[in-house]
């Protein structure tokens, strides 16, 4: 009975989100419409989060089943602890971003498009929740496709610009490639199962080693594209930069996490994966992390930069997934639990701080009218609330204490170094720890660049000099996410405990109580460490205030070695700040420079898109042009083709007919 | 004396003699280059003077500039509680605190670079940009050292890695541990802005890394930043001495005194290196950092055999 009630509550939450979309389309008066949409979004998120929270705190998993006569069998939806974590993230972060979107679209010039946009956002949120809670193949694929199409429509909001259209088309083609691979995977898998629910897929198993390799290969391809693992990441930066800011937040924070959910669900359903899966995920994750943050450092458009950071963090999450898989493959359950736990916690944390950063970037874009770092500056004075939220997001994404990014990177580090005393090949994963440190150092360089160039110093353009703080409708969801980041950082023990219990699903019951207990104790120590850090900072601040009270304090122009006539153009630019590191990596960073006698211009290109994918695409088009002569446009040629195909089929049938008895 | 009181004494003592360690380096340099030079306690006098001097704040700076010295000093103080100065155990121990050590130093660096960019001057911007470049690869080096000591000792906390676990392995893994120690010393020179990466005694702003980023700070703020730099040298020097001279078998008092002697020896070693080599050119700094990381990587590879 209780399970049924919880399922009803979950559906009620989803229904409220759908109602929000309907209200956006139906209600005419814009003020009433905006307020109604916001109320329905917040209420729907809160209501849908309750059963997810219940499952996570020890309740029974939910399940609901609708018999269906359509091909594909019954539609099953359910929430086990893994789904519950993802539903909680989707619903709460998605609700905050959608509420931001209501205020954001109100201020833009295309306000006649905002009803359709809000409806599409509602559809996107509902499809996200259904993707992570679907327990049958058809429901999963329907929700997956709905999510892809809703994202495409939202990316194309500003479709009058050519680069937005290009980004949308690239996104559409790539996401359907991933969907095709999913079709192949499910087709292979459902051959051996009785019906098309996930429970039957788990019971059917994956068959032979080659069958398992094909299944897992398709899953890695499809979900890797969706998540944005290098080299399948090239659709991410154009799409996330072209979309409106709240849509970029939802896509970076939530939609790419469905790829991570898919990878984890496949491992849960298919059983312990072979060793190549773990090593592939670990190495691909490490490469994504390093290349993603390097390419982010080369960008000077805030949203493209944040999109590349999503690639980096997906890489870190996949390193955790790989470590977890290696733990199960090499029979080291503690490493498996910590690896999967770190991946799951980093998924939650990344959803929080990446959405926060995108929303803050949206506020900056709304206030200054530009996304380019080289035109910003001095915004800390003019937009203090946005600066505070962005600073919290920046400290969180670099993985510094006392915020939440540190907790998940600490857990991953614990797992990587915990593999060190092993005697088999899993020891080599200890090399991931220095790589994580280099990635963290590059992330620190990138975010000091963004925060310093955009918010500190003096304004570099008129737009930045005239910026005004955005309203409470935009700041409230942003600061809610910031508080959530701080809460997970400061209460690490309470956040890590349920995550590690979910991670225990991957190794089976009972094998992990000791290591989970010690990791939770470590997380409590991290909480105490964060509290001590804040306390010492406060103490030193008080000390400084006491010293300053006794001396003369004056204001003056910037000293800078007595160089007079400082202008805003003499500040360090974003390209200059990133230059030493970019030069070390040479061609790998993809920065193209043009030097004239009095002119310097640098631009960043995506190596995979510009050097691999687009040339390959043009090669396919040339090949297709060679086949062009087949299409003459004349009816009798086509009739000839039909007759030739019929004759060939008849000949095959005759030759293969069983002997007449 | 119980253990906790001893560890508190160790931390307090290390924080107390931190300015003297930098002074020992300067004294060694003066001795080797035939100059009279400032006394070893010069930094104490400088700090006292700066704390009682007035401060001038630039009009283009915001709270970030004022918070930078506070966070820099607070983070190295918190990091000091994680380091085992007496070669046996630190004041605060928890699993994975080696990563917390690196991360909390990163927080100090983050605030420091933001404070530098807040002034809107190209000198400080250059200093911030070079500082993060050096820091990226120094962190890689540092974590390679931690990975090597984790493989040796099986521990993930600094007290486990640099406290008791290394002594038994000195008998069997001398080459790797020596390489790890050399790599850690090279990383210390880079992190603490010493020759051959950054010359603390230069007057040319375009050749500076750390010095140029603090150009606008004055008064108590500058005192906090100088003290934080001295403490950082002490912390990393204590880790170097933990690798090269494990003292876990000694009685507590002797281990503590040995820690102080080891810090003086590290200071002298820094002074010798500063007298023997010159600062390398800025484009060659990444090669130096890669070299120090390579030492640790070779040591790790030998240990993973």
| Run of H or E residues at A595 | strand A591-595
pLDDT at A527 over 60: yes
Q: Which residue did the predictor score with more confidence, A657 or A153? A: A153
3-state SS, A254-307, equals HHCHHHHHHHHHHHHHHCCCCHHHHHHHHHHHHHHHHHHHHHHHCCCEHHHHHH
Q: How far is B301 from chain A (nearest CA, A)?
A: 9
Give how far the C-alpha of residue B213 lies from the chain's centroid of Cα atoms, to the nearest Å. Answer: 17
pLDDT at A316 over 90: yes
Please tell me if residue A482 touches chain B, with a CB cutoff of 8 Å.
Answer: no
pLDDT at site A256: 95
Among candidate residues A353, A262, A341, A279, the one with its CA nearest the CA of residue A312: A353
pLDDT at A454 over 90: yes
Mean pLDDT within A141-150: 95
Whole-number average pLDDT of chain A: 90
Q: Do A537 and B70 touch (CB under 8 A)?
A: yes
Percent of chain A scoring above 70 in pLDDT: 97
Mean pLDDT within A639-661: 88
- Model confidence over A110-140: pLDDT tens digits? 556 788 899 999 999 999 999 999 999 999 9
The distance between the two most distant Cα atoms of chain A, rounded to a whole number of Å, is 114
Burial label, A625 (beta-carbon count in 10 A; 0-12, 13-18, 19+): exposed
Residues 545-584 of A with CB under 8 A from B: 547-548, 550-561, 563, 566, 568, 570-572, 576-581, 583-584
Mean pLDDT within A522-526: 91
In angstroms, the CA A82 to CA A261 distance is: 8
Mean pLDDT within A622-647: 91
Q: How far is B11 from chain A (nearest CA, A)?
A: 15
Mean pLDDT within A353-380: 93
pTM comes to: 0.94
Residues in A touching B57 (Cβ below 8 Å): 553-556
CA distances from B288 to A586, B140, B283 (A): 17, 13, 10
Among candidate residues A58, A46, A62, the one with its CA nearest the CA of residue A7: A62
Q: Do B219 and A551 touch (CB under 8 A)?
A: yes
Residues in A touching B220 (Cβ below 8 Å): 544, 547-548, 551
Q: How far is B26 from chain A (nearest CA, A)?
A: 25
- Model confidence over A211-248: pLDDT tens digits? 889 999 999 999 999 999 988 999 999 999 999 999 99
How many CA atoms, within 13 angstroms, populate the side-chain half-sphere of residue B10?
32
In angstroms, the CA A500 to CA A519 distance is: 9
* DSSP code for A628: G
- Model confidence over B195-243: pLDDT tens digits? 888 888 887 878 888 888 888 899 999 999 999 999 999 999 999 998 8
Residues in A touching B281 (Cβ below 8 Å): none
pLDDT at A661 over 70: no
Q: Do B55 and A554 touch (CB under 8 A)?
A: yes
Q: Do A457 and B107 touch (CB under 8 A)?
A: no
* DSSP code for A230: T
- Model confidence over A63-75: pLDDT tens digits? 888 888 777 778 8
Q: Do A558 and B120 touch (CB under 8 A)?
A: yes
Nearest Cβ partner of A401 from B103, B142, B216? B103
Please tell me if residue A514 touches chain B, with a CB cutoff of 8 Å.
Answer: no
In angstroms, the CA A452 to CA A456 distance is: 5
Please tell me if residue A189 touches chain B, with a CB cutoff of 8 Å.
Answer: no
pLDDT at A1 over 60: no
pLDDT at site A2: 52
In angstroms, the CA A657 to CA B48 distance is: 103
Number of residues that this document lists for chain A? 661
| Cβ contact A203:A135 at 8 Å | no
In angstroms, the CA A482 to CA A402 distance is: 13
pLDDT at site B1: 62
Strands A75-79 and A600-604: unpaired
pLDDT at A189 over 70: yes
Q: Do A400 and B102 touch (CB under 8 A)?
A: no
Nearest Cβ partner of B54 from A456, A526, A553? A553
Best residue in B62, B93, B96 for a mutation probing chain A (most A CBs within 10 Å): B96
Contacts of A385 (CB under 8 A, 6+ apart): A469, A475, A479
Nearest Cβ partner of A566 from B116, B121, B135? B121
Residues in B touching A529 (Cβ below 8 Å): 78, 92, 94, 97, 100
Across A247-256, A517-526, A541-550, least confident range: A517-526
Please tell me if residue A456 touches chain B, with a CB cutoff of 8 Å.
Answer: yes
- Model confidence over A483-494: pLDDT tens digits? 999 999 999 888
Among candidate residues A301, A346, A525, the one with its CA nearest the CA of residue A439: A346
Q: pLDDT category, A144, cuts 50, 70, 90? A: very high
Mean pLDDT within B67-93: 92
Q: Do B104 and A399 touch (CB under 8 A)?
A: no
In angstroms, the CA A229 to CA A144 distance is: 18
3-state SS, A468-497, equals CCCCHHHHHHHHHHHHHHHHHHHCHHHHHH
Residues in B touching A451 (Cβ below 8 Å): 114, 117
Please tell me if residue A493 touches chain B, with a CB cutoff of 8 Å.
Answer: no
Peptide bond into B231 cis (omega under 30): no
Q: Is A592 helix (H, G, I), strand (E, B) or coil?
A: strand
pLDDT at B78 over 70: yes
Highest mean pLDDT among A507-516, B4-13, B169-178: B4-13
Nearest Cβ partner of A448 from B59, B98, B113? B113
Mean pLDDT within A268-282: 92
Q: Do A452 and B125 touch (CB under 8 A)?
A: yes
Q: Do B58 and A555 touch (CB under 8 A)?
A: yes
Q: Do A440 and B57 touch (CB under 8 A)?
A: no
Q: How far is A428 from chain B (nearest CA, A)?
A: 8
């Amino acid at each position: 009975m209780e399970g049924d009630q919880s399922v009803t509550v979950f559906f009620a939450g989803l229904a409220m989100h759908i109602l929000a979309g309907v209200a956006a389309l139906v209600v005419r008066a814009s003020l009433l419409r905006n307020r109604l949409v916001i109320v329905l979004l917040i209420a729907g998120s809160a209501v849908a989060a309750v059963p997810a929270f219940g499952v996570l705190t020890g309740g029974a998993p939910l399940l609901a089943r609708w018999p269906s006569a359509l091909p594909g069998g019954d539609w099953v939806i359910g929430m086990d602890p893994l789904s519950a974590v993802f539903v909680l993230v989707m619903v709460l972060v998605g609700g905050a971003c959608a509420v931001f979107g209501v205020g954001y679209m109100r201020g833009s010039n295309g306000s006649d498009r905002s009803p359709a946009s809000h409806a599409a956002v509602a559809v996107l949120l509902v499809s996200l929740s259904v993707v992570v809670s679907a327990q049958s193949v058809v429901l999963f694929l329907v929700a997956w496709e709905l999510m892809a199409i809703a994202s495409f429509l939202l990316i194309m909001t500003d479709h009058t610009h050519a680069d937005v259209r290009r980004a949308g088309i690239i996104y559409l083609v790539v996401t359907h490639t991933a969907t095709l691979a999913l079709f192949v995977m499910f087709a292979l898998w459902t051959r051996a199962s009785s019906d098309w629910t996930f429970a039957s897929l788990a019971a059917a198993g994956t068959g032979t080693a080659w069958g398992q390799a094909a299944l897992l290969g398709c899953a890695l391809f499809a979900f890797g594209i969706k998540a944005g693992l290098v080299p399948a990441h090239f659709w991410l930066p154009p799409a996330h930069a072209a979309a409106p800011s709240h849509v970029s937040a939802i896509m970076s924070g939530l939609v790419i996490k469905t790829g991570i959910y898919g990878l984890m669900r496949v491992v849960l359903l298919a059983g312990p994966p072979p060793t190549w899966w773990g090593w592939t995920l670990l190495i691909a994750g490490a490469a994504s992390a390093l290349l993603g943050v390097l390419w982010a450092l080369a960008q000077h458009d805030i949203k493209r930069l944040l999109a590349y950071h999503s690639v980096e963090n997906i890489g870190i999450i996949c390193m955790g997934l790989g470590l977890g898989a290696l733990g199960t493959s090499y029979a080291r359950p503690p490493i498996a639990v910590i690896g999967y736990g770190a991946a799951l916690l980093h998924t939650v944390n990344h959803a929080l701080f990446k959405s926060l950063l995108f929303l803050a970037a949206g506020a900056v874009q709304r206030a200054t009218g530009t996304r380019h770092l080289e035109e910003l500056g001095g915004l800390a004075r003019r937009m203090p609330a946005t600066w505070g939220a962005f600073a919290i997001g920046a400290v969180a994404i670099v993985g510094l204490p006392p915020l939440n990014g540190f907790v998940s990177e600490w857990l991953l580090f614990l797992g990587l170094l915990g593999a060190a005393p092993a005697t088999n090949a899993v020891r080599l994963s200890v090399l991931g720890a220095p790589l994580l440190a280099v990635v963290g150092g590059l992330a620190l360089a990138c975010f000091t660049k963004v925060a310093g160039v955009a918010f500190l110093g003096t304004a570099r353009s008129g737009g930045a000099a005239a910026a005004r703080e955005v309203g409470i409708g935009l700041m409230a969801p942003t600061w809610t996410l910031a508080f959530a980041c701080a809460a997970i950082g400061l209460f690490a023990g309470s956040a890590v405990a349920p995550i590690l219990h979910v991670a225990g699903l991957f190794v089976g019951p009972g094998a992990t109580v000791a290591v989970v207990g010690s990791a939770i104790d470590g997380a409590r120590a991290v909480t105490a460490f964060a509290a001590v850090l804040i306390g010492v900072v406060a103490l030193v601040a008080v000390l400084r205030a006491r010293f300053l009270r006794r001396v003369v304090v004056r204001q003056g122009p910037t000293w800078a070695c007595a160089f007079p006539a400082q202008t805003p153009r003499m500040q360090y630019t974003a390209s200059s700040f990133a230059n030493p590191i970019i030069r070390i990596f040479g061609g790998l960073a993809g920065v193209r420079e043009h030097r004239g006698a009095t002119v310097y211009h640098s631009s960043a290109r995506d190596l995979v898109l510009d050097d691999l994918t687009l040339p390959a695409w043009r090669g396919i088009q040339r090949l297709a042009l060679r086949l062009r002569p087949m299409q003459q446009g004349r009816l009798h040629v086509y009739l000839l083709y039909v007759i030739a195909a019929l004759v060939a089929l008849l000949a095959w049938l005759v030759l293969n007919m069983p002997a007449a008895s | 004396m119980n253990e906790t009181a001893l560890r508190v004494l160790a931390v307090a003592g290390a924080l107390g003699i931190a300015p003297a360690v930098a002074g020992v380096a300067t004294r060694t340099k003066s001795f080797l280059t035939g100059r009279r030079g400032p006394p070893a306690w010069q930094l104490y006098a400088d700090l006292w003077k700066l704390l009682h001097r007035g401060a001038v704040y630039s009009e283009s700076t915001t709270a970030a500039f004022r918070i930078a010295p506070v966070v820099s000093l607070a983070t190295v103080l918190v990091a000091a509680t994680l380091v085992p100065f007496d070669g046996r155990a630190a004041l605060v121990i928890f699993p994975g605190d080696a990563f917390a050590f690196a991360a909390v130093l990163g927080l100090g660096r983050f605030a420091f670079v933001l404070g530098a960019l807040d002034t809107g001057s190209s000198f400080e911007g250059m200093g911030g940009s070079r500082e993060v470049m050096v820091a990226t690869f120094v962190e890689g080096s540092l974590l390679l050292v931690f990975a090597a000591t984790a493989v040796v000792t099986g521990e993930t906390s600094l007290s486990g890695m640099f406290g008791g676990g290394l002594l038994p392995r000195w008998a069997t893994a001398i080459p790797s541990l020596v390489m790890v120690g050399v790599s850690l010393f090279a990383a210390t020179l880079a992190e603490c802005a010493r020759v051959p990466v950054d010359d603390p005694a230069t007057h040319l702003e375009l050749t500076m890394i750390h010095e140029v980023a603090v150009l606008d700070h004055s008064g108590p703020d500058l005192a906090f930043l100088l003290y934080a730099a001295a403490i950082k040298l002490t912390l990393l020097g204590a880790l170097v001495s933990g690798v090269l001279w494990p003292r876990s078998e000694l009685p507590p008092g002797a281990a503590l005194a040995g820690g102080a002697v080891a810090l003086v020896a590290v200071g002298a070693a820094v002074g010798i290196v500063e007298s023997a080599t010159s600062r390398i050119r800025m484009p060659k700094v990444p090669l130096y950092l890669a070299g120090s990381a390579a030492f640790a990587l070779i040591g790790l590879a030998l240990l993973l055999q």
